[in-house]
Amino acid sequence: MNSIHPTAIVGPYVTLGTGNTLGPFTVVGGVVDIGNNNWIASGVSIGCPPEVRSFPHMNWVESSDGPGVSIGSDNVFREGVQIHGGWRDRTRLGSRLFVMNQAYVAHDCVVEDDVTLASGVAIGGHVRIGRASNLGLGTTVHQRRVIGALAMVGMSSVVTRDIPPFMKAFGSPCRPKGVNTVGLARAGLSAQTVAQIEQLAGVPNYPENLADLNEVESELIWYREALTK
């Protein structure tokens, strides 16, 4: 059973799993699929049309147009979060995300599992964010950028280039500043793998030079494929 506040609005083309909580004045519309056990605070907006001049802004009944939004399970979306529907492809968010207040996810973005978006993060269209990445307070990400898995982006950063996996990066413009050793350890990577990543991170062909590290093979494949999308 879902707990939906009386002032929340859920559109006719929204599919909800079970165990979800929708807070006061939250609006979910368009074509939206939401999994199970998500906690959605007050004033959240999910599934509004993408902010694209050529995209039609439909009325409530017609809002089934467009690719929409897919959201996994066990996520937390705090007050005022905005997630726009897709333009060319679905906007996709995974599971176990922690999205803090006033964060914004634009059309056609892909946000993988276990990502943290701090308050005021703004992500442009078509951005891809790898699993367990952490974007600090007020970070902005230019459209079509890729942030690799287990990256840590410092607060107020302006991301205009792709951020390789496993790195910590910050600044305006945002640039890698070393390996996210704390995040890698918390994710359960072995000390040997973390040490090898630290050793290879300064080499020009990073992260391709990590190909022999079986423990992070899936993250490298994801990053390589994301760069071609």
The DSSP element (H or E) to which 103 belongs, if any, is none
Contact 9, 30 (CB under 8 A): no
CA distances from 108 to 153, 178, 212, 225 (A): 21, 29, 32, 16
Contact 147, 166 (CB under 8 A): no
Q: Which of 35, 47, 125, 130 is catalytic?
A: 125
d(CA 19, CA 173) in angstroms, rounded, equals: 41
In the DSSP assignment, the letter for residue 221 is: H
In this structure, the dihedral spanned by the alpha carbons of residues 221, 222, 227 and 229, taken in order and rounded to 10 degrees, is 120
Q: Which of 66, 84, 94, 107 is catalytic?
A: 107
Active site (annotated) includes residue 125: yes
Q: Which of 29, 30, 66, 108 is catalytic?
A: 108
d(CA 38, CA 72) in angstroms, rounded, equals: 8
Active site (annotated) includes residue 114: no
d(CA 39, CA 72) in angstroms, rounded, equals: 12
Active-site positions read 107-108, 125
